[in-house]
Chains A and B, each alone.
Chain A
Amino acid sequence: MSAAFKAFLKSPVGPKTTHFWGPVSNWGIILASVADTKKPPEMISGNMTGVLCVYSALFVRFAWMVRPRNYFLMVTHSCNECVQLYQLSRWARFQGFLGKKKEPEAEE
């Protein structure tokens, strides 16, 4: 086993601590949202998606400021932020908040 892997195992935010397995469970939300990107936008909940965007932004900052610094949590919530912002954009476009790009030429 390499020294880096051993250091990871012993780390205060490593796999022997809840600071590691908690964020692992947070990946469930991310994977669920990735699966939901394939579904029609009617199914997206604006409430939940908006809340998750703010929540992940706060936790990126939390993971950076907390001691010991938790890079894994930071990466987890950065990824969630990306997925949730994408879902939010799909929801907003479907609800008409983003406006139509251009009128279809078939109107003329």
Chain B
Amino acid sequence: MAHTSSHSFVNNVMHGTLNKLSPATCDFYLTIIAVHFWAPTFKWGISIANIADFAKPPEKISYPQQVAVACTGIIWSRYSLVITPKNWNLFSVNVAMAGTGLYQLSRKIRQDYLSGEKDAAPQLEA
């Protein structure tokens, strides 16, 4: 196994335990103890938090935050396809961010601007 790592903890674990395993298994364990895996993986939490917030009333949605989440998602989705190699993992998480952000924005816009017209109309008639 030709793994190089500047992290001494990984080196110690590797020499002690991992080089008794097959290269594929060794790769797997090295991946799941690395921040290079967990940081992008945890980005799914942003989309999951947004999905949990679908149940909240639209008054509580923050325009700046959802605009920022949607824009970040769109920009990173584009970049993940432009880099080599294409990073489909990064692409999918950012598409989810953009999608949930845009949906939250649509909920808030619908409440602020579209249902306002429905409420205003009966007043004009009465």
Contacts and interface: CB of A to CB of B under 8 A. Distances in A.
B68 interface: yes
A50 B45 CA distance: 10
B114 interface: no
A21 B45 contact: no
Contacts of B50: 48
Contact of A25 (B64, B65, B72): B72
B11 to A, nearest CB: 14
A28 B68 contact: yes
A43 B72 contact: no
Interface size class of A (residues with CB under 8 A): 20 to 34
Nearest to A29: B68
Given A18-B79, A43-B60, A61-B35, A55 B42 contact: yes
Interface of A is mostly: helix
Interface of A: 18, 21-22, 25-26, 28-29, 31-33, 35-36, 39, 42-45, 47-48, 50-52, 54-55, 58-59, 61-62, 65-66
29 contacts: A18-B82, A21-B75, A22-B75, A25-B75, A25-B76, A28-B67, A28-B71, A29-B65, A31-B68, A32-B62, A32-B67, A32-B68, A33-B64, A35-B64, A43-B59, A43-B62, A44-B62, A45-B49, A45-B65, A47-B52, A47-B53, A48-B46, A51-B45, A51-B48, A54-B45, A55-B45, A62-B36, A65-B7, A65-B35
